[in-house]
Amino acid sequence: MTDVLLTVGTRKGLFTARRRDGRWEFDGPHFPAQAVYAVGIDLRRSTPRLLVGADSAHWGPSVFHSDDLGATWTEPSKAPVRFPKDTGASLERVWQLHPAGPAAPGVVYAGTEPAALFRSEDEGETFELVRPLWEHPTRSRWQPGGGGEAVHTVVTDPRDPDAVTVAVSAAGVFRTLDGGASWSPSNEGVSAVFLPDPNPKFGQCVHKIAQDAGDPDRLYLQNHWGVYRSDDSGGTWTDIGAGLPSDFGFATVAHPKHADTAYVFPINADSDRVPAGRRCRVYRTSDAGGSWEALSRGLPEEDHYGTVLRDAMCTDGADPAGLYFGNRNGEVFASADDGDSWTQLAAHLPDVLCVRAAVVG
């Protein structure tokens, strides 16, 4: 089996795990007592760079990196992500660290709370605020979601480094086609059932977006009520939630190699945030949302209450795909066969906030 690195960000530090010859070994916690909401794995280098957004209750948030798969960590001497003084804002949390594609070497995006996008051109050493999004004319009408007002998802187009899509809680989807110089809301078809107008131009509470492996224009979106697909890079969206036990949830992941294949983890309701039907099940579509199948072999069969958050499910890029998710019970589960079967890797960790994995050997 391939050598895989798994990173698990929790409310009390980062845990790492390596799979060698089919066996997993865990290490950690790194950054003890710090909440880790964001991890990025940059595979564009000969040795992958790990990027971690850690949040110390004493020292505040920062971004660390490791060039030896987590054996040692470096924090830049100056805060790598910080708001310019004229904004009057200060960084509360880094929600997303996204290395851009090979067409943009060295570029890493950071999504933050307050809701902002930062761009690095030196592999995550320093970041600059993307001002046109921060100064967007709709910003004064953005509202925080339950977890705060944050840019929590970044999707880059592998064909065009100037095309970037972000999700903002709770302002919806915004896109740029000119490298961040201008941004447009891209929420047509996505509902906002909690607003007086359920179909606004912006204001949706988008929880996560994933990009299809076969067609970069095809995106999957998990909303605060509603699962959607776009076939035009987010220009318009179609509801594909039929067949799921609930269309509320946080996580959505696309298969890294197979077109039309994506995964979600349904949650009962916004007022009852436990697995749908109290059953620990991942759902997969292999026809771009035309139908869904429950994946539960090896997962707990009894009543289950572990909520999977928006960044707590991922793939490792392999084929068959390794799939991973962690929950707020502190459990981590893994599949090495596209989700057909699962094994529990860990239990009794702190709340799992994010997971990232990659083939490293």
What is the rounded average pLDDT of the residues 195-203? 92
Q: Is the dihedral of CA 70, 212, 97, 266 positive or negative?
A: negative
Q: Tell me the mean pLDDT in the region 302-315.
A: 98
Nearest to 207 by CA among 164, 146, 141: 146
What pLDDT is recorded for position 1? 62
Q: Which two tokens stand for residue 230?
A: 């776009």
169: Cα within 13 Å, side-chain hemisphere: 23
Query: Which tens digits make up the pLDDT trace of 84-101?
Result: 999 999 999 999 999 998
Helix, strand, coil share (%) of the chain residues, nearest 5: 5, 45, 50
Domains of the chain: 4-359 (2.130.10.10)
- Kindly indicate the confidence band of residue 163, based on its pLDDT and cuts at 50, 70 and 90: very high
Model confidence pLDDT, tens digit, residues 126-148: 999 999 999 999 999 999 988 89
Q: 31-41 b/e with 16+ CB inside 10 Å = b?
A: beebbbbbbbb
pLDDT over 90, % of the chain: 94
Residue 69, phi then psi, degrees to nearest 5:
60, 35
Residue 361: pLDDT band by 50, 70, 90 thresholds? confident
Confidence band for 310, pLDDT divided at 50, 70 and 90: very high
Mean pLDDT (whole number) for 299-311: 97
Q: Measured between alpha carbons, how far is 227 from 208 in angstroms, rounded to an integer?
A: 10
Taking the C-alpha atoms of residue 14 and residue 347, their distance in angstroms, rounded to an integer, is 14
Across the range 236-246, mean pLDDT stands at 98
pLDDT in tens, 1-42: 689 999 999 999 999 999 988 899 999 999 999 999 999 999
Q: Is residue 66 over pLDDT 70?
A: yes
User: Under a CB-based contact definition with an 8 Å cutoff, are residues 220 and 229 in contact?
Assistant: yes
Model confidence over 99-117: pLDDT tens digits? 998 889 999 999 999 999 9
DSSP 108-148: EEEEEETTEEEEESSTTS--EE-HHHHT-TTGGG---BTTB
Q: 225, 329, 241: which is closest to 288 by C-alpha?
A: 241
282 neighbors 339 (Cβ within 8 angstroms) = yes
pLDDT, the chain, mean = 96
Residue 103, pLDDT score: 87
Nearest Cα to 351, choosing from 30, 61, 13? Answer: 13
Output the pLDDT for position 147.
87
Per-residue pLDDT, 21: 84
In terms of Cα–Cα distance, which of 357, 250, 360 is closest to 15? Answer: 357
Separation of alpha carbons 77 and 350, rounded Å: 29
Model confidence at 228: pLDDT above 70: yes
Mean pLDDT of 299-319: 97
C-alpha to C-alpha distance for 12 and 15, rounded to whole angstroms? 9
Between CA 181 and CA 162 the distance in angstroms is 9
Phi-psi domain of 163 (left: phi exceeds 0; alpha: psi -120 through 50; beta: other): beta
6 Cβ neighbours under 8 A, 6+ residues apart? 16, 17, 18, 19, 24, 316, 324, 332, 334, 345, 355, 356, 357
- Residue type at 271 in one-letter notation: S
